[in-house]
Structure 1
């Protein structure tokens, strides 16, 4: 007995073939969209490596001292090619943060512009760290011929009163040698207090009285000027070379200053411990806030660090991110040195 097999019409078989091809192509396209195509305007902050700062600083012309422990600077890796799959994974990982491009790159700038700015900030942080550490070790503070007003900030007290090119030579009757001197003298006032400035303008001395206000990004008293030094002079008495490679930005300032201080000081600042940290350093030793502290804590923990030094403003977030590391709030360079010396 024969069985007859009914053949499908050729057009139907072709239609089925194209349907299967479409499904495969759709799956490939979906895979590429999920795993291969970056989402526009989304970046991710990831834990970066913790680096032994002592290995990044070379000192000439002076004897240096080794330590039993180590000091680490911490970094954040920025992923600028976040896919949908990475966005989902990073959103579920407490050590990673998804941010918008606008949170990383200021409006009107490119990534290349930002990198250039951050390289300049790194150089400035190294200069300030060297200044702070060496003055703490007994070198004479920097000197100069006043603080040059570069710009004034719109709608703040100096706007329309002081001018670019004016040089501040005294604050409240105290001589000003550097921009740092002027900034410290103004911020020593409470918000709403009046400050008297003597200005050199076109070769003539003039006096102005301004009322301080809270700064846009700080609670400290400001008058709304950006300053630079006039005939700045500082003799470090030692040659310091920072080998930081591709690391950029100002956030290693605190750890640079501590590592340099430790190298030139006979005592062991580490007390045999592994100590990491972050924070900008000001000319007066003030430690300023930074971004990505959660990722820096994670990077320090991955390195097996014992203690993490965090700027006061970032300490709460650092403590929330910490699992097996002690987070210590630090306001100034002197605070950090005092804490570490007591610990050791």
Structure 2
């Protein structure tokens, strides 16, 4: 083979390699992420310090190309998920990311509420409006609103909940025009939107957005949570524990490195999350000594059961602790002996 032909083949191979790396398959791949200490992320004004630490755990999630697909197939703690299991139908990358970040924001808000109530400190909410998660294709809001917009007035009227907003829109007729005031990137805008009948036989007029309430919690002392690059709701339990620990004089860490995962409801219930085994791996690598896992009331295939399988497989010395509620996690820590020096 001539030198020229050899160079041409090398260039072609490089181009094909780059092209295949940029071609995404209809799968997401997830792998163990990190265990991140929460004290630098969460700051309660005048809060108490701790000897040990609470850590949130994450998984790394991204679209699979041919190479990451093959690696995931060969790796024990990498998982493949069809796109439809991760993203809603017709949901764009932007809408998916905004949904994840909103779930994180909601997780932080609920964690603050649970922790402050447990500490006996009053909690109040300030309603801000409705947060746009998605724009329905072919509906009036398309091209007028964007995911991430905050709608706070309709026809010059403020509203107290998403139910109030929906009720007002439902009182109109298809073809009626409503004026929405919204905030985008800190700037206030107004837009007129003609209502359209929902295509489900009900003839109900809609704007064509998927929305959720956007509320701001008001507490004293103030608390700041820096989690801009982390999405999803799974850090709720660990957020709650870190915030509560800064509010009270007793140090619940007792000098231990404590990781865990689980969603948090306003009643203190700890909920199931995805990627529990990958989070166990991440926590073990970070040197965690205790790991809280959702028990799901002992259900078969619970997060706790999955976590125990992974813990045994990687031969970790980390103790896996099952919890159904925030109270159970606090009680476990209160009864924990202080770590010896």
The aligned counterpart of 1:343 is 336
Change (3 A) 1:288 1:27: same
Choose from 69, 72, 81 the match for 1:99.
Answer: 81
Choose from 303, 306, 314 the match for 1:317.
Answer: 306
Q: Does 1:87 pair with 2:69? A: yes
1:295 CA drift (Å): 1.7
Deviations 1:218-248 (A, max 9, x none): xxxxxxxx9979xx99752211011113111
- Secondary structure of residue in 2 paired with 1:36: helix
- Secondary structure of residue in 2 paired with 1:74: strand
- Secondary structure of residue in 2 paired with 1:117: helix
Question: Is the contact between residue 47 and residue 299 of structure 1 (CA under 8 Å) also seen in structure 2?
Answer: yes
- Secondary structure of residue in 1 paired with 2:335: helix
The aligned counterpart of 2:270 is 287
Q: Does 1:57 pair with 2:30? A: no
Question: Is the contact between residue 289 and residue 319 of structure 2 (CA under 8 Å) also seen in structure 1?
Answer: yes
- Work out the CA distance in 1 between the residues paired with 2:246 and 2:329: 15
- Work out the CA distance in 1 between the residues paired with 2:216 and 2:103: 20
Unmatched segments (≥5 aa) in structure 2:
127-159, 169-210, 296-301
The aligned counterpart of 1:113 is 95
The aligned counterpart of 1:240 is 223
Q: Does 1:305 pair with 2:298? A: no
- Secondary structure of residue in 2 paired with 1:130: helix
The within-5 A match list for 1:116-127 is: 116-127=98-109
Question: Is the contact between residue 46 and residue 79 of structure 1 (CA under 8 Å) also seen in structure 2?
Answer: no
- Work out the CA distance in 1 between the residues paired with 2:247 and 2:79: 38
- Work out the CA distance in 2 between the residues paired with 1:316 and 1:330: 12
Unmatched segments (≥5 aa) in structure 1:
1-15, 152-162, 166-225
Say which structure is richer in strand: 2
The within-5 A match list for 1:19-98 is: 24=9, 28=13, 32=17, 36-60=21-45, 63-80=46-63, 82-98=64-80
- Work out the CA distance in 2 between the residues paired with 1:242 and 1:30: 44
- Work out the CA distance in 1 between the residues paired with 2:334 and 2:267: 20
Q: Does 1:330 pair with 2:323? A: yes
Deviations 1:142-172 (A, max 9, x none): 589xx97839xxxxxxxxxxx958xxxxxxx
The within-5 A match list for 1:84-233 is: 84-140=66-122, 150=163
- Secondary structure of residue in 2 paired with 1:55: coil
What's the C-alpha RMSD, in Å, of the aligned pairs?
Answer: 3.3
1:23 CA drift (Å): 10
Question: Is the contact between residue 74 and residue 299 of structure 1 (CA under 8 Å) also seen in structure 2?
Answer: yes
Q: Does 1:264 pair with 2:247? A: yes
- Work out the CA distance in 2 between the residues paired with 1:34 and 1:149: 45
- Work out the CA distance in 2 between the residues paired with 1:22 and 1:126: 56
TM-score by length of 2: 0.65
1:249 CA drift (Å): 1.4
Question: Is the contact between residue 47 and residue 296 of structure 1 (CA under 8 Å) also seen in structure 2?
Answer: yes
TM-score by length of 1: 0.64
1:337 CA drift (Å): 0.3
- Work out the CA distance in 1 between the residues paired with 2:36 and 2:232: 15
Question: Is the contact between residue 34 and residue 83 of structure 1 (CA under 8 Å) also seen in structure 2?
Answer: no
